Structure formats: structure tokens, C-alpha cells
Amino acid sequence: MPTFRTTRRVLHTADEMFDLVADVEKYPLFLPLCEALRIRRREERDHRPVFVADMTIAYKIIRETFTSRVTLDREASAILVEYLDGPFSHLENRWTFRPLENGGCEVQFFIDWELRSRTLGMLVGSVFDRVFRRYAEAFEQRAEVVYGARRALA
């Protein structure tokens, strides 16, 4: 299965970055390929917010919607996204946020995925790899829009 992992150091706090990633309804404003996102249901499990959401991704003539369960674990500074339905045979991604001494944080992003259709996988597989590489940049740029640009902290 294809995977992608990256760790980025940003000048925003772990709480700010957690909130930014948790605000999934804003993804169509800035995230590559994300055409739409709709939350179907919200609940709480083990004192953590959980929601089920549909995300529509689009690339040229290809448009697919998939459903995921998102668990927000603020205490652990982690967000888990688990695939429920759609064009994938498997999809899981995890975010973790670790505060740094300079006031910024380290953001870790991991995604493990595989499309059901080999043909679709061959068509968009290489695009997905490039898109995941741009995701980290898109979130950093979004943080600057939402929280303001920051210079390196001493």
C-alpha cells in the first residue's frame, strides 16, 4: 500500500495547528483536490469528539467521494482519520502535534492508502503522492492566513 509521512516544524502552537486540522469543513478553501466536505454526524466517544464526514476529491474529469470517521484527541494532541466507504480499499491518516520550546510545534502527518480500482490507482496514484507533499505546505499557508505570519522565535 502506498504511504506518505512527513514531519514539519512550524511557528504556530500545537493547539493552533490541532484546531486548524480539526476544522475540516474549511478544507475546500485551501486543500489541493478537495472539492467539498460535509459532516454527516457528530458524537462523542471516550470523551473525545468524533465525526463522520464525506470528502469529495476532484482531479480533471475524475471526481470521487469517500466517507471517513475522524477522532479528535486533544489530550494526546492527535487526530485519527479512518476510512469507512468510497473508492479506497484502505485509507488511514494520523496527525500528531508536539509543542516545541520556541513556542512553535512539530506536526507529523502520516497517510496509508490504496484505491480499489487498479486503473484509477494508476491514473491518480502519482498525483496523490504530489498532492500529499503539498498538503503540509497548504496547512502551513492556511495557518498564516488564520493566525498570521510569524517570524522565527528566539
Q: What is the pLDDT of residues 56-92, one digit of tens each?
A: 988 788 788 999 999 999 999 999 999 999 888 888 9
CATH no. for 3-147: 3.30.530.20
Nearest by Cα to 36 from 46, 26, 45, 23: 26
Query: In whole angstroms, how far apart are CA 84 and each of 22, 110, 139?
Result: 18, 18, 24
Percent of the chain with pLDDT over 90: 62
Q: What is the pLDDT of residues 10-32, one digit of tens each?
A: 999 999 999 999 999 999 999 98
Half-sphere exposure of 15 (CA within 13 A, CB side): 2
Given a cut of 60, is residue 154 above it in pLDDT? no
